[in-house]
Copies of this chain bind each other. A is one copy, B any other.
Amino acid sequence: MDTVLKGTGKKVVVSSERPTAIIGERINPTGKKRLAAALNAGELGIIKDEATSQVEAGAHILDVNVGAAGVDEVDLLPKAVRLVLETAEVPLCIDSPNAEALDAALAAHQELNPDGRPLVNSVNGEESSLARVLPLVAKYGTAVIGLCMDDDGIPETPEARLSVARKIVERAESLGIGRDSLIIDTLALTMGADSKAGLITLETIRMVREELGVNIVLGASNASFGLPDRDTINAAFFAMAVQAGATALIMDPAKMGQYVLAADLVMGRDEYAMNYIKAYRRRSK
Contact = CB atoms under 8 A, between A and B. Distances in A.
Given A198-B266, A233-B265, A227 B259 contact: no
A243 B277 contact: no
A209 to B, nearest CB: 15
Contacts of A263: 236, 240
Q: What's the number of copies of this chain in the assembled complex?
A: 2
Nearest to A227: B273
Interface in A201-250: 202, 223, 227-229, 232-233, 235-237, 239-240, 242-244
A177 B277 CA distance: 45
A228 B277 contact: yes
How big is the A interface, by class?
A: 35 or more
Q: SS class of chain A's interface: helix, strand, loop or mixed?
A: helix
A139 interface: no
Interface stretch (A10-18, A51-59, A189-197): A189-197
Given A191-B273, A195-B272, A270-B195, A280 B229 contact: yes
A199 B239 CA distance: 13
